[in-house]
Chain A
């Protein structure tokens, strides 16, 4: 089976509009979380902190020269990151539109960032808005497909918060099985009144900036963003960021919206990723943890790490930098994991103070340079959907 290399990356998040900006912000330990959400009217705008991308939808639209009708903020964030990734990998228009180039995206919100428009279109049988074909999760990739006239396999995955990790995995499988020679893989989600109210109803939104793996963590902060990777089987003479060496998707099969105490899903996804990479637990130098900052996730993830690694390697969560970007998270964090490999450095898990008593695990607290050969990246979601990826130094 073919090997899978990462040859290009693109990202837009609350801490920067490019890979370079995100890299600098990570090194400096910056957080993009604040209480001034201004994308749409919601009573939580000034009550709860969010990680909003610093460009308005209008600015994005003109920057990306959007002339199509019904393009949502999610699709624009996706296009922004997609453009950076394909340019970084040096893919020409004809390569992007070739039949052996696949596009695999991920989203949980899709066009539902337009929550108020969706309410009108779904309930009133009068004049439809411009967005009737833009609400579903598939709309994001279909927009990219049309922009670039792509003719290869086009797919979108929604496994809640692990969506983008599974999109990366699916793209890699297409390459390994000969269904594509290269795959542009990633995810996008924007902040939405719908998800804000959903997570609020579950009582897992933190009233302050989140503090992953801290004893006194109070929940997560929602964020938005998009990230794409270019995966290629043949990367000779190209800049190679990393090799995707392992992946696994497993289910916790315990509860629709929380993880089991023993963390079977996280344990099996991490263990399966090691097996698929042919690595031992001791080979992993760093774990990019899912670490949302909720009571449930951080404790269960810690327990699963101890169960598999006994003495877990360095680990950190970037959720206090960029918030929880839901369907984009797996791709956003793949970029961060690859930056760690490429630059041989680890970034700090912000706002951690004291270890969770039952586990005693302490995340990376300051930026540091160190040799990094293999990084594991975790993404866990509702529906028990857990996925782990392993990126290795090429």
Chain B
């Protein structure tokens, strides 16, 4: 368990709270690319050399690290890190036939460059780690943060999930059949019955500690599973709810990672079917697209919804009369194989 004090996100959207679906940023050329801000907090000389994943990660983190020296650690989940730098270096290598190469892209391509840069820019010499377990990289970073807070109860940590969409990982994932063949608007994402999703990207950052007093939300628990067996996924969710929710309590919102891929839909439907009839069902992938650490975006969205006590129409799949939003169950799976569940509670 842990409490979220501050949160920030760079995503394809300007304003996720806008009720009007027409005012949301749609996919362009089958991709949902991040709507990057002007990075005022990053020194220009440093910014110029940063690849996109590092830029987004650092850019989302710095505004919420008000007193960075007080942080007891930096924990990042990222499946790919600086993929663009990685392939740029590779292309340079092929082009110059392994000649004398500039090392910049190589150094930036390692997954840990985001957390490393954050440590450097905030002069933070404490715990610094990068979890890369693909579709559960963020869930593992979050589990790590919970354990750090158990070992150091007075501590305060920066936790984040970052993945970029570069031409290269788009190509690789496209060859693997991850994306839709046809052009699909986010307005029709959940109704096009075809394989594949829309590619996305983003960086979501959280400052977490054990202090309930000023917190926005409490992450009660997290659990993960690797399986493509529907019954195992359902059992995992049943046990997770039993262990973490009191009998007289209920899930107000089930935030589902449904992504328009008809191959993954059965897992979301099955989990949805286990919930109470007075649970609202919401979806978020039309806002951020699909990427391995999209669950970090979902947690950020969850914080906003709990704070505003208002769910925009485009997020709602199934509405209930319930007004108060207290308990949220977040479920996401990556390619139907890596499943993550989080239980989030309002602190207000």
Contacts and interface: CB of A to CB of B under 8 A. Distances in A.
B125 A251 contact: yes
Interface residues of A, number: 68
A384 B128 contact: yes
B87 A123 contact: yes
Interface string B73-84: 010000111000
B115 interface: yes
A247 to B, nearest CB: 11
A202 B103 contact: yes
A387 to B, nearest CB: 9
A133 B226 CA distance: 16
Contacts of B187: none
Given A159-B128, A173-B144, A383 B112 contact: yes
12 contacts: A115-B93, A119-B87, A119-B91, A122-B172, A141-B133, A154-B224, A158-B130, A159-B112, A159-B115, A384-B120, A385-B112, A385-B116
B136 A197 contact: no
Contact of A138 (B98, B103, B133): B133
Nearest to A256: B107
Contact of B131 (A108, A155, A194): A155
B298 interface: no
A181 interface: no
Contacts of A173: 144, 147, 151
Contacts of A146: 226
B152 to A, nearest CB: 11
A166 interface: yes
Which 7 pairs from chain A and chain B are nearest by CB?
Answer: A383-B116, A128-B175, A198-B106, A201-B103, A138-B134, A251-B128, A122-B168
B246 interface: no
Contact of B140 (A43, A133, A155, A383): A155
A136 B226 contact: no
B107 A156 contact: no
B132 A138 contact: yes
Contact of A383 (B119, B137, B150, B227): B119
Contacts, number: 198
Contacts of B110: 108, 158, 160, 382-383
Interface size class, chain B: 35 or more
B143 interface: yes
A336 B93 CA distance: 35
A213 interface: no
Interface of B: 74, 79-81, 86-87, 89-91, 93-94, 97-98, 100-103, 106-113, 115-117, 119-120, 122-134, 136-137, 140, 143-144, 146-147, 150-151, 168-169, 171-176, 224-227, 232
A308 to B, nearest CB: 15
Scoring A123, A135, A250, A256 by chain B CB atoms within 10 A of each residue's CB, the highest score goes to A256
A136 B79 contact: yes
Contacts of B93: 115, 193-194, 197
Interface in A138-175: 138-139, 141-142, 145-146, 150-151, 153-160, 166, 170, 173-174
Nearest to B90: A119
B116 A251 contact: yes
B72 to A, nearest CB: 11
A127 B89 CA distance: 23
A381 B110 CA distance: 11
